[in-house]
Amino acid sequence: MQAVELEARLNDFDPGVRDAALRELVALADEAAVKLPPPVDAVNMHCHTFFSFNGYGYSPSALAWLGRKQGFAAAGIIDFDVLDGVDEFLGACELVGLRGSAGIETRVFVPEFATREINSPGEPGVCYQMGIGFAGGQATGRAAEILADLRQRATDRNRGMLARVNAHLAPVSIDYELDVLPLTPKGNATERHILTAYVVAAERVYPDCAERVRFWAEKLGMEPAEIEAMIDDVPGFKNVIRAKLMKRGGVGYVQPGPESFSTVDEFHEMIALCGALPCFAWLDGTSAGEQDIEELVGLMVEKGAVAVNIIPDRNWNIKDLETRRIKVQNLHDFVRLAQELDLPLNVGTEMNKYGLKLVDDFDVPELEPVRQAFLDGAHFVYGHTLMQRARTGTVRLGLGYQSAWAQAHLPTRRARNSFYTQVGRLVPPGQAGLARLRRLSAAMSPSNILKLSQ
């Protein structure tokens, strides 16, 4: 089977098909039938998979293969509200030989900032927040309860929005179970899945393109000529529908409040119980909340955040030169603050809509001053993930950042950051690295572990 066909199978909804395809691709690489480059200083630690939404349809296995094929030094997945892709991605990274990490993203409510917009535009008190460095996708007890609540809240929001949009778009309507959930591999639908279902439904009700153009023009409050000019650009047209109907001011939108989301404390509790790392997601420093950045980050640290996330491209790749200047300066200032507070950086492009980059270009002048901090952050979270997943026989040692071992041997954030970053750089990905980890024990000191990691 050709590599192109196998790569397509990596995005099949059947996990068995994905696994078989990935193993065949690795076998082809071992036979030199597929050439894999050596890693370079390129990382993308924030890639959404098709378990929430990926603009290119990539599964966790596909992202692991993409990272290895592109020569990334490291890659990480993030999905909204679920850990469904964690085990697959980390296993795939071990198979292909790629440094990997996995996490979760959601929106939370921050009572202390209830009157200030943070990083969710137009929604005071609402904050995108993340957990990174999960060693596995299974949660138990209280952590499982919080995860279930996240998923149920997301489902309730989706159903409410769908009912409002259905009423507006009649006679075009969709059914959540019949039209939306089949677009997902494990039932975790997002607004972007719902958009796809509406575009398909409109084509079904109005097979004639001219009639469909008139329908959308009426429902979106636009001129038919505007719709006709964009309707064939499906990703772009979906973005317009989303902005008109589902975002603030649209018929499907409801202003969120304290009851709409879990609190930041609950979310951080779940992450810590899983041995992972609460991570504050910074936007661009322009909102009221982010202008009070020292107060905001200080609050997040008090609530358990040990890292921060940045989407670099939205902070420099901007046409308006003055806006670019302001946001680049904000970016550099925020990186400086994070370093002063000993908060590692998790960076990436998201990939949750078509057109976003596969990886950032750290060599552009705007990012060159912060590139080393970005690379260090990738190695840090990989090092933590390695130590949390390390096993002796069938027993997982769990020597990650949040562990009692780390608290005893590495009592400060700075000491932990240095140790896990060194581990991440020293231990190679894949089977060679796993062999080194099998020699570890919880009785070892950090210095002894670093010696064995070389």
Determine the residue type at 67: G
Handedness of CA 201, 203, 206, 207 (dihedral sign): negative
Which residue matches tokens 């420093």?
285
DSSP code string of 386-446: HHHH-EETTEE---STTSHHHHHH--SHHHHHHHHHHHHHHSPSSHHHHHHHTT--TTS-H
Structure tokens belonging to residue 17: 């098909």
Q: What is the pLDDT of residue 296?
A: 97
Instruction: Give the number of other CB atoms < 10 A from CB of residue 340.
Output: 9
Q: What is the pLDDT of residue 257?
A: 81
Q: How many domains does the chain have?
A: 2
Report DSSP state, residue 368: G
Same domain, yes or no, for 281 and 393? yes
Same domain, yes or no, for 110 and 233? no
Structure tokens belonging to residue 307: 């890292």
Same domain, yes or no, for 125 and 158? no
Same domain, yes or no, for 226 and 170? yes
Is residue 80 a part of any domain in this protein?
A: yes
Q: What is the pLDDT of residue 378?
A: 98
Q: What is the pLDDT of residue 139?
A: 95
Handedness of CA 67, 72, 73, 77 (dihedral sign): negative
Is residue 258 a part of any domain in this protein?
A: no
Q: Report how far apart the first and last C-alpha atoms of the chain are (Å, whole number).
A: 38
Q: What is the pLDDT of residues 139-156, one digit of tens each?
A: 999 999 999 999 999 999
Q: Are 276 and 134 in contact (CB under 8 A)?
A: yes
Same domain, yes or no, for 219 and 338? no
Residue 362 belongs to domain with CATH number: 3.20.20.140
Same domain, yes or no, for 108 and 58? yes
SS3 88: helix
Q: Are 59 and 85 in contact (CB under 8 A)?
A: yes
Q: What is the pLDDT of residue 108?
A: 96
Same domain, yes or no, for 407 and 327? yes
49 to 58, 313, 314, 347, 352: CA distances (angstroms): 6, 19, 20, 16, 8
Report DSSP state, residue 350: B
Is residue 263 a part of any domain in this protein?
A: no
Same domain, yes or no, for 337 and 413? yes
DSSP code string of 408-420: HH--SHHHHHHHH
Contact partners, residue 319, CB within 8 Å, separation at least 6: none
SS3 49: coil
- What domain range is 209 assigned to? 150-246
Q: Which of 43, 32, 46, 51 is nearest to 99 (CA)?
A: 43
Half-sphere exposure of 201 (CA within 13 A, CB side): 20
Is residue 30 a part of any domain in this protein?
A: no
Half-sphere exposure of 290 (CA within 13 A, CB side): 22
Is residue 7 a part of any domain in this protein?
A: no
Q: What is the pLDDT of residues 381-418, one digit of tens each?
A: 999 999 999 887 777 889 999 999 999 999 999 999 99
Helix (H) or strand (E) holding 249: none
Q: What is the pLDDT of residue 285?
A: 97
Is residue 118 a part of any domain in this protein?
A: yes
Can you give the pTM of this predicted structure?
A: 0.95
Please identify every stretch of the chain with a pLDDT value under 50, giving residue numbers as ranges: none
Is residue 412 a part of any domain in this protein?
A: yes
Same domain, yes or no, for 180 and 226? yes
Same domain, yes or no, for 340 and 426? yes
Q: What is the pLDDT of residue 436?
A: 87
Same domain, yes or no, for 127 and 154? no
Domain end point (choices 207, 231, 246): 246
Is residue 115 a part of any domain in this protein?
A: yes
Q: What is the pLDDT of residue 412?
A: 97
Same domain, yes or no, for 282 and 166? no
